[in-house]
Amino acid sequence: MSKNTHTDVLLAGAFAAFSVDLLVYPLDTLKTRLQSQDYQKIYIDASKNAINRRLLFSGLYQGVGSIILITIPSSGAFFTTYEAVKSGFNKINPTRNDSSSPLFPQPLVHSAASSIAELVSCFILTPAEVLKQNAQMIRKPSTESSSKSSTVFRSSATIQTLKRFKNPSKLWIGYTALAARNLPFTAMQFPMFEHMKESIKQYRKDKGIFTGSLIETSITTAVSAGSAGSIAAIITTPIDVVKTRIMLSAASEKETIENIQNVKDQPPEKQAQMRGSSKKSGLVVGRDIFKDQGMKGLFRGGTLRAAWTALGSGLYLGVYETGRVWLGDRHESTGGNDL
C-alpha cells in the first residue's frame, strides 16, 4: 500500500467495477429472475410445463446503466476505505508480550476492514441495486416484434423503473438487506482471499518459481478471489434471496396498496394486514420462503450465484490488484510525479 496513493486505489477499484459489470451482468439478471417471487408465474409456460427461454433470456442488460454509474464510486469508496482501515489497524495492532506476532490475527483485521468498507459502499450502492433488480424484471410488451425482443440492451428500463418511485427514500429500502448480505459475504471472502493469495505466493517462493510479475500477480489474485468468492456466495445465498425479494417489493409497494384500496369488500382489518405484508422484515420474508419452498427456495439461484461470483470476484479483484500494482510501479519508475 505504501507505493499507492488514494487516487491509485480509487482508479483501480473503479476500473475493476466497470469491467466486471459489463461482463457478468447478464448472469446477475438471470439470478435475480430465478430468485423472484413471481418466477413460476412469469417464466414458466404452464401449458408446456417448461421454462419460457425467450422471456427468461431477453433483456439481460436491463438496468445496467444505473449499476455502472453507481458501482464506480461505490467500488472506489470500498477499496479506499478497506486499504485505509487495514493499514490503520495494522499500525495500531499491538504485539503480544515476548512475541513479534500481533495481538489480533490478520484474518480478523481483514474481516473488520472489509466490513467497515462494505457499510460505506452499500450506502452508495443501494439505490442503484434497487433500480437494477426492478429493471431486470421488466417485461417487454407482447406486441413488440420478435426481432426487437431479442435486443440485449434496453436503455429505457432504468428510466421506466425510476418513474415508479415517487418517494426517493424508497430507493434505500433495501439498505439493511443489502448490508446483511454483503457484510457476512465480505467478512468471509476477504480473509480467505488474503490467505489464499499469500499461500500461493509463499508456495511459489518455496518452489523457486515466484517472479513477482504483473501477470503472475493477476492470475494469483484472480484464482484466490474467485475461489473465496464462490465459497462465500454459496453460504450467503439465503440472505441474497431475501434481499432480492425485499428490493423487488420496493417498487410494487405503492401498486399493492392501491389494489387493496380498490377491493371494497375487504374489512379494514384485512386491508391493514395486506398493507403490512408489503413491509415485511428480512426474517419474516425468509420464514415465508422456507414455509412455501423449503431449503430449496432459500438456495434458489445458488449455483448460478456461485458461478458468476467466482467469475466476477476473480475478474474484479484481479483487475483491481493488477491496476493497483501497475500504478504503484509507475510511480516508482517516474519518481512519483504522476497523478
The half-sphere exposure of 143 on its side-chain side, counting CA atoms within 13 A, is 0
Q: What confidence score (pLDDT) does residue 339 get?
A: 47
How much is the pTM?
A: 0.72
Read off the DSSP letter of residue 46. T
| Mean pLDDT (whole number) for 214-235 | 94
Q: What confidence score (pLDDT) does residue 335 get?
A: 61
Q: What confidence score (pLDDT) does residue 251 get?
A: 62
Instruction: Identify the CA nearest to 312 among candidates 11, 27, 9, 13.
Output: 27
What's the rounded Cα separation, in Å, for the pair 134 and 127? 11
Q: What confidence score (pLDDT) does residue 269 get?
A: 52
pLDDT tens string 168-224? 777 888 888 889 888 999 999 999 999 999 999 999 999 999 998 989 999 999 999
> Which of 3-17, 133-147, 261-275 has the least mean pLDDT?
261-275
Q: What confidence score (pLDDT) does residue 320 get?
A: 86
Give the right CATH number for 6-140+150-333 from 1.50.40.10, 3.40.50.10330, 3.30.70.920, 1.10.150.120: 1.50.40.10
Torsion of CA 30, 283, 275, 135, to 10 degrees: -20
SS3 of residue 45 by DSSP:
strand
Percentage of the chain exceeding pLDDT 70: 78
Percentage of the chain exceeding pLDDT 90: 32
Please report, as a single letter, which amino acid is at residue 30.
L
| Mean pLDDT (whole number) for 268-273 | 51
Q: What confidence score (pLDDT) does residue 260 get?
A: 45
Please report, as a single letter, which amino acid is at residue 258.
E
Q: What confidence score (pLDDT) does residue 336 get?
A: 55
Domain boundaries, the chain: 6-140+150-333
What's the rounded Cα separation, in Å, for the pair 81 and 115? 10
What's the rounded Cα separation, in Å, for the pair 96 and 71? 40
| Mean pLDDT (whole number) for 96-123 | 84
pLDDT tens string 140-179? 655 544 444 444 444 466 666 766 666 777 788 888 888 9
What's the rounded Cα separation, in Å, for the pair 254 and 249? 9
Query: Which residue intervals of the chain are DSSP H helices?
Result: 6-35, 39-43, 53-56, 64-92, 106-136, 146-149, 156-162, 175-206, 214-235, 237-262, 268-276, 282-298, 302-333
Instruction: Identify the CA nearest to 316 among candidates 221, 228, 241.
Output: 221
Cβ distance 79 to 319 under 8 Å?
no
Helical pair 6-35 and 302-333, crossing angle rounded to 10 deg: 170
Q: What confidence score (pLDDT) does residue 153 get?
A: 44
pLDDT tier for residue 131 given thresholds of 50, 70 and 90: confident
Range ranked top by mean pLDDT from 75-84, 129-138, 208-217, 220-229: 220-229
Q: What confidence score (pLDDT) does residue 257 get?
A: 45
Q: What confidence score (pLDDT) does residue 263 get?
A: 45
Q: What confidence score (pLDDT) does residue 256 get?
A: 47
The label of the residue with cell 459489463 reads 22
